[in-house]
Chains A and B, each alone.
Chain A
Amino acid sequence: QVQLQESGPGLVKPSETLSLTCAVTGGSVSSGSSYWSWIRQPPGKELEWIGYISYSGSTKYNPSLNSRVTIFVDTSKKQFSLILSSVTAADTAVYYCARDVQIIGRSYYFDYWGQGTLVTVSS
C-alpha cells in the first residue's frame, strides 16, 4: 500500500518561497512509469493541479503557475518536493501530494493522496 506524507512550514511570508516535501512509503519515486503530483485546495475552494514529476525526472506544471513552480525528486530519500516562489495570500491552501497514474493513451488519475498540509501566506 502506497502512503504519502507531506511536510513543511505552515506559515510563509508574502514574497517568500514555499517549500514542501512528500515522503513516499510502499512505493518508489523512481520506479518505471511512476508519476508524482502536487495539488492544492484554497480554503473553501476547488482542487487545483500544480504539477508533476516523473520517474525519469521530467516535469510538467500548470500553465498558471509555471513561472513560479519547481518540483524535484530525491530518490535516495524516497521523497519529492515542491518549491513555489514569490507567494501571495492567494497561495494559501492545503497542499496535497499524490501518486499520479499516467498510462499514455489509456489512463489518467490520482490513486493515492497524502493527508494534506495547510500553508498560510501571511506576514
Chain B
Amino acid sequence: QSALTQPRSVSGSPGQSVTISCTGTSSDVGGYDYVSWYQQHPGKAPKLMIYDVGKRPSGVPDRFSGSKSGNTASLTISGLQAEDEADYYCSSYAGTYRFRVFGGGTKLTVL
C-alpha cells in the first residue's frame, strides 16, 4: 500500500483538462508545502513537472499546474496533448523520520 493515494487511472480527450489527486495525511501532504509531481513515459526516467505544490521548473509547459487543499494535492493538465499520456507520480516531504514518500502512480490516457 502506497504512502500517498492516487487514482490508478484517468483519461481525457485532446484539448480537455484532467486533474490527478494525491491524498496523504497531516504528516506528509497536509503538513508541508513540499509536494512534487513526476511524469514517467514507459521505459524512461521520471521527469519533474511540479515542485513545492505549484511551482513549475523551466521548460515545463504552463498547461501543467499544481495545488493543494488540506491533505490532498492535485495536478491539473489543461489542453491535453497526446504526448501527455504517461504515468504520473506525486511525492511529498514527510518529516525527519519517513522523510520522502511517493504515491502509487496514475496512468493518464489521452483518448
Mark A residues whose CB is within 8 Å of B. 37, 45-49, 60, 62-63, 96, 101, 106-111, 113-116
A109 and B36 form a contact (CB under 8 A): yes
Main secondary structure of the interface of A (DSSP, over half): strand
Quick check: is B64 within 8 A (CB to CB) of the other chain?
A: no
9 sampled A-B residue pairs with Cβ under 8 A = A37-B100, A45-B104, A46-B89, A47-B46, A49-B100, A63-B97, A106-B52, A111-B48, A116-B45
Nearest CB in chain B to that of A107: its residue: B52
CA distance A39 to B20 in the complex (A): 22
Given known A47-B91, A60-B99, contact A110–B48 (CB-CB < 8 A) = yes
A96 CB to closest chain B CB, in angstroms? Answer: 6
Quick check: is B47 within 8 A (CB to CB) of the other chain?
A: yes
CA distance A107 to B54 in the complex (A): 12
Of B44, B51, B99, B105, the residue contacting A107 (CB under 8 A) is B51
Mark B residues whose CB is within 8 Å of A. 2, 32, 34, 36, 38, 44-48, 51-52, 57, 89, 91, 93, 97-105
User: Which interface residue of B44, B93, B97, B99 has the most chain A CB atoms within 10 A?
Assistant: B99
18 additional A-B pairs beyond A46-B89, A49-B102, beta carbons within 8 Å, are: A37-B100, A46-B2, A46-B105, A49-B91, A49-B99, A62-B98, A63-B97, A96-B45, A96-B46, A101-B51, A106-B52, A107-B51, A109-B34, A110-B48, A113-B45, A113-B47, A115-B44, A115-B45
